[in-house]
Amino acid sequence: MSEAVLLIGTKKGLWIGRSDAARKDWRLDGPVPEFEMQGVYAVGIDTRGDRPRLLVGGTSEHWGPAVFHSDDLGKTWAEPPEGSIGFPADAEASLERVWQIQPGPADQPGVVYAGSEPQALWKSTDGGVTFELVRGLWDHPHRSEWGAGFGGAAIHTVVPHSTDPARVSVAMSTGGVYRTADGGATWSPANKGIQAKFFPDPYPEFGQCVHKLAAHPDAPERLFAQNHHGVYRSDDGGAVWKSIADGLPSDFGFPIVVHPHEPETVYVFPLVADANRIPTDARCRVFRSRDAGDTWEPLSTGLPDVSYAPVLRDAMTTDTADPAGVYLGTRDGCVYVSADAGETWVEAARHLPDVLAVRAAVVG
């Protein structure tokens, strides 16, 4: 029998939601969360193997950051080996937290990427048990000029190319989009057309505060980006970007996700502005485009009529079921689920701490 599993990373631990394949009625494990009082900024569900692997990036104030995994849907968790993720001595840096966990493409079953603060990319070839620093990006000559966004100086998004294992794109705050075509040995900025309103030159080579990237595996050359003011699409793998913000109530926000079966369908959650981080019109609304950003429509049936809580960059996701599920978590501790691609929503959780990251899958 199929089961829906929902990972909810918060500032005070991990909650796991469970439902049947209909995804209408949810229950949370607990009442005590996993990784209690750890900041869980990154979660992942790797469904490429014989059984799903849950991945969690937690940060303990005592022990520091680590990546944990479970192969039994969260019943037990494996302690990471000592030194499983950490900078070599010559890097002269210490790991603050893991911001992103991203399984690789289907034809690279052991590959898992992690993005961190400070701005670094890590690669695992054993399913997320141990990680190695990608030195080509860490040693990039631009690194000394990358800055910190409001949330920190981090690589928060990793988008592996679905058909070319040598190609990976990342996004960071602040630094913008970088991409490699040689397996991580060399990296180039890929920000042409993305605006940075806070710079004297609004279109620099790098330095943009890109909040999130997304791509569909069936259309790997098409990338979508939610920027710090700006929503963009690239049709050439990030070489050039164009604005797709027309039709949205605001171009500021954090998450952007693509429908799992429709490469043209994309979702965002607009906020008023960088200095006013509440939903537009004080309403909890997801906006969907079914034509790659040419037009947009609001989706709110079942969501609160009045809301002042934003959705963070990793707190919106989809599953791969059919019909597709869409999930979002808010900074006031609520989680909402749509089992019909955004048309209608139900509340899956409330009164949690700040929701930082969500991932979901229908398994079994």
Write down the pLDDT at residue 149.
87
The pTM of this model reads 0.97
Number of independent structural domains in the chain: 1
What is the distance of C-alpha 240 from the center of its chain? 22
- Tell which wins on pLDDT, 1 or 138: 138
- pLDDT higher than 90, residue 68: yes
Compute the distance between CA of residue 239 and CA of residue 126 in angstroms, rounded to an integer: 32
DSSP state of 89: G
Please tell me the predicted confidence (pLDDT) of residue 1. Answer: 82
Inter-residue contact 146 to 153 (CB < 8 Å): yes
**pLDDT exceeding 70 applies to what percent of the chain?**
100
Task: Choose among 180, 216, 179: nearest CA to 224.
Answer: 216
pLDDT in tens, 299-340: 999 999 999 999 999 999 999 999 999 999 999 999 999 999
92 Rama class: left (phi>0) / alpha (psi -120 to 50) / beta = left
CATH value at residue 223? 2.130.10.10
| Per-residue confidence band for 70, with pLDDT thresholds at 50, 70 and 90 | very high
Count of H-run helices and E-run strands, the chain:
1, 28
Q: How many whole angstroms separate alpha carbon 93 and alpha carbon 360?
A: 33
Average pLDDT over residues 192-197: 96
- Give the structural domain span for 163: 3-363
Q: Which amino acid is residue 250, in one-letter code?
A: S
